[in-house]
Structure 1
Amino acid sequence: MRNGLFVVIFVLIAVLSGCGHRAEQKRATVQGYAVKPEAVHKSLYFTGTIQPLRESTLTSPMDAVVEKLHYHYGQLVKKGNVVVTLNSNELQKQYNDTLTEYLKAKDSFTVAQSKFNGTQELWNAGLISKNNYLSEESSLATAKVSLIQATRRLTEMLEKMDDGNAQHLSELNIAEFEKVRQALAGQHNLIHLKAPSDGVLLYPPKSGEEQSGKLNVGSTVKAGQVLALIGDLTGVSVEIDIPEIDIDKIRPGMRANVTGVALGKQVLKGELVAVNAQASTTAGAALPSFNAVVEVKALNELQRQWVKVGMSAEIEIEVDSGEQLLVPITAVKQEKGRSIVKIITAKGSSETRVVTTGPALADKVVVASGLQAGDVVAYD
């Protein structure tokens, strides 16, 4: 009986000892964290599509048919290279009309100038009235203006044709009938469109009624239609949409890192250059968003080999929120729908305090209110 009593007492002592040890172990795991202002760095992530840094257009000056494509879409072109040759019957008619108008204006000016020279001599000799003199002077001025306008139209026509052999037309005289006949009988229906800058030949924008903006030999084009874009790939730009909730954190001049699946380990260093002041709303979106543009001003040779127009891109923008109060995430508990923390007082006791939290970082969370610098919070 006595031995049984000793066994019971021993078991009770062991149990009580174990409980005390676990309580001490639990107390030992509770730590204190001194609250202080800390710099908060957070990254925002967006997606977009890689586009050229700049684009210039290749436009048809009049209704025509594509005669020849000198480059394929996606190829590099140099400034001044002929990219597309168009065939336009309208150009042939305009050429004949413009040349004829120029020759008539030139002849009228020559006649008016000769008449005025004679009138000038008579006026100096006092043989004609002032009214006659002024009338001839006005006729000469009118003929001169008409010649200037006709010359400008002829010059514009020759620029469209880009025909070096046609530059001598300004030397023609209407009295030289055979030369004029040859000039009017020649074929002048081709338009040579040249690249306005170095870059990559890209598809033109699609219109609402076109299935594809791609041109082929034989395609019909309208006056003013964009036939192709020349993209400058010495750098790239990416358009992104910034949600309304983040727009107050974004401003032009912020640095951005551009990455993508097809870019491998390449990280392009860019800058946020513009943020739209007007929001746009897309179908199905809960909140409006703001369009912004990220530019990478210059690519090195290796990066240019990787980058292609139309690639998907991920944009990382680091946001600096200044210094804010931070506490470990494990220090914040939820109680009856409120966020609370345990404060360790100077006397070593603890008290509960309600706090308002902000953005969460990797292992800490911003405390917007409820704490002040110097407070010590308990956390596991």
Structure 2
Amino acid sequence: MLSGQRIKTNKLSHHIQPLACSVLCLSLLLSACKKDQTEKPVEISKKIELIQQDLVVVQDGTSVAKTAFTGTLRAVNQSSIQAQVNATATAVNAQVGQAVSKGQVLVRLNNQDNAARLAQARANLASTQAQANLAKNMMQRKKRLFDQGFISKVEYEQATVDYQAQLENVHAQQANVNIAEKADRDGTILSPISGVITQRQVETGQTVAAGQTLFEIVDPNHLELQAKLPSDMQAALKVGQNIQYTIQGNPAALSAVVTRISPIADPASRQIEFFANPNETINSRSIGAFVEGYILSSSSVSGQLIPLDTIQNIKDQPYVWLIRNNKIEKVKLNILEQRYKDNLAVVQGLQHGDRISRIKFNDQDIHQQVIINQK
């Protein structure tokens, strides 16, 4: 009987031992997990600290509506001088860059043929004038004879007709003389305006042809802005409107006033040409230079006023770094006006309460919390 109990006890012991091992393993596993959870560090969100001097409060501002254009600078008074006769240049008296006065001799041409034609025309004129004087004397003599009854009326009238015919010959020869004198004068090229020689295309001893350009002259004291605007923007173009512009190679901001507007659009480009008078004195070396600017409207546009030097990538896609709801944000802008003199810009795209950051951030800083130190 005792032996049977021992056998039963041993069997029970065999079942309990694996169960105890399982419970022990599970307890150790739970303990390890709990230890990992307690030992894992808590992540703390990173905050960026700024001071008040790093930030600029956005202010409301206004800007004048603008219409962009491109153009060039040109001389109001300019002239292209061409030869009127076929001849050889015997003397050239002007150089590129030289200032000349109206009526000044620029070049003399060897024009012997025209000089000979002038002499012949003058001789023919003198001959016809002598014949006319003879016919006049004959008419006056026959007038006296007719009054005394020695000749008939027909003879007197014939003498009168002869005199009138000779007078017409004199007029015809005078016209020939005028033509010959004009041709002779064409051998001496005079400056039609006061200005500066910009091109010279003739040399001493060179044979020139009628219609060939010899000189280009411009008056550097009277310049104007010549530009074009698409016809669909013609409402922005009126005589008397102010213009802001810059000249290529010169960063200075200049101004002008619209003086003339073409009444029609160019059928090829669909653009309207206009001209403006500069308010400042422009260097003559800027003639022909590329110009870009804005036509200023009489109406204004609302926006925000911020420092110009806080705008990033201002030429392509301008944006600013700002603090909005205590977070760093990167916001794109629409620039309405740039006031370089005051380091200000009128923009659109900001919200009330935004503070512009003078500090430049990186894209990974976007939406990061900031702490603003009041000191």
CA distance in 1, matches of 2:335, 2:232: 12
The DSSP-based 3-state class of the residue aligned with 2:222 is strand
Q: Is the 8 A contact 2:89 2:205 kept in 1?
A: yes
Write the mapping of 1:54-203 to structure 2, written as runs, cut at 5 A. 54-158=77-181, 160-161=183-184, 191-203=187-199
Q: How far apart are 1:83 and its partner, in Å?
A: 0.6
The DSSP-based 3-state class of the residue aligned with 1:100 is helix
Say if 2:266 is the partner of 1:289: no
Q: 1:298 to 1:104 in 2, by over 3 A?
A: farther
The DSSP-based 3-state class of the residue aligned with 2:89 is strand
Structure 2 unaligned spans of 5+ = 1-37, 46-56, 306-333, 338-344, 355-375
- Counterpart in 1 of 2:206? 219
Q: Is the 8 A contact 1:47 1:313 kept in 2?
A: yes
Q: Is the 8 A contact 2:236 2:295 kept in 1?
A: no
Q: 1:144 to 1:201 in 2, by over 3 A?
A: farther
Q: Is the 8 A contact 1:53 1:296 kept in 2?
A: no
- Counterpart in 2 of 1:272? 258
Q: How far apart are 1:259 and its partner, in Å?
A: 4.0
CA distance in 2, matches of 1:132, 1:229: 63
Q: Is the 8 A contact 1:33 1:379 kept in 2?
A: no
CA distance in 2, matches of 1:149, 1:74: 45
CA distance in 1, matches of 2:304, 2:243: 29
Structure 1 unaligned spans of 5+ = 1-7, 19-30, 163-189, 205-213, 283-287, 330-357, 367-376
Paired AA for residue 249 in structure 1: A
Q: How far apart are 1:82 and its partner, in Å?
A: 0.8
Q: How far apart are 1:238 and its partner, in Å?
A: 3.3
Q: How far apart are 1:45 and its partner, in Å?
A: 4.3
Give the RMSD, CA atoms, in angstroms: 4.3
Q: 1:363 to 1:310 in 2, by over 3 A?
A: closer
CA distance in 2, matches of 1:133, 1:111: 15
Q: Is the 8 A contact 2:125 2:173 kept in 1?
A: yes
Q: How far apart are 1:77 and its partner, in Å?
A: 0.8
Q: What whole-Å deviation, never above 9, does each CA across 1:240-290 have from its counterpart, x for those lacking one?
A: 23234533312233233554355575x6653323233122536xxxxx333
CA distance in 1, matches of 2:99, 2:181: 27
Q: Is the 8 A contact 1:235 1:298 kept in 2?
A: no
Q: Is the 8 A contact 2:63 2:346 kept in 1?
A: no
Q: Is the 8 A contact 1:116 1:137 kept in 2?
A: yes
Q: Is the 8 A contact 1:234 1:297 kept in 2?
A: no
Q: 1:201 to 1:125 in 2, by over 3 A?
A: farther
Write the mapping of 1:203-352 to structure 2, written as runs, cut at 5 A. 203=199, 214-257=201-244, 259-261=246-248, 265=252, 269-276=255-262, 277-281=264-268, 288-296=270-278, 299=281, 303=282, 306-308=283-285, 310-323=287-300, 326=302
CA distance in 1, matches of 2:162, 2:228: 64
Say if 2:64 is the partner of 1:40: yes
Q: How far apart are 1:70 and its partner, in Å?
A: 0.7
Q: TM-score, normalised by structure 1?
A: 0.58
CA distance in 1, matches of 2:275, 2:123: 51
The DSSP-based 3-state class of the residue aligned with 1:44 is strand
- Counterpart in 2 of 1:369? none
CA distance in 1, matches of 2:188, 2:239: 41
Q: TM-score, normalised by structure 2?
A: 0.58
- Counterpart in 2 of 1:184? none
CA distance in 2, matches of 1:310, 1:111: 63
CA distance in 2, matches of 1:247, 1:218: 53
CA distance in 1, matches of 2:244, 2:128: 62
CA distance in 1, matches of 2:172, 2:276: 46
Q: 1:197 to 1:33 in 2, by over 3 A?
A: closer
Q: How far apart are 1:378 and its partner, in Å?
A: 6.2
Q: 1:140 to 1:298 in 2, by over 3 A?
A: farther
Q: Is the 8 A contact 1:105 1:150 kept in 2?
A: yes
CA distance in 1, matches of 2:279, 2:176: 40
CA distance in 1, matches of 2:79, 2:271: 28
CA distance in 2, matches of 1:87, 1:316: 50
CA distance in 1, matches of 2:249, 2:148: 87
Instruction: State which drifts further: 62-71 or 217-226.
Output: 217-226
Q: 1:79 to 1:160 in 2, by over 3 A?
A: farther
Q: Is the 8 A contact 2:241 2:297 kept in 1?
A: no
Paired AA for residue 220 in structure 1: T
User: Rg bigger for which structure?
Assistant: 2
Q: 1:328 to 1:298 in 2, by over 3 A?
A: closer
Q: Is the 8 A contact 1:239 1:294 kept in 2?
A: yes
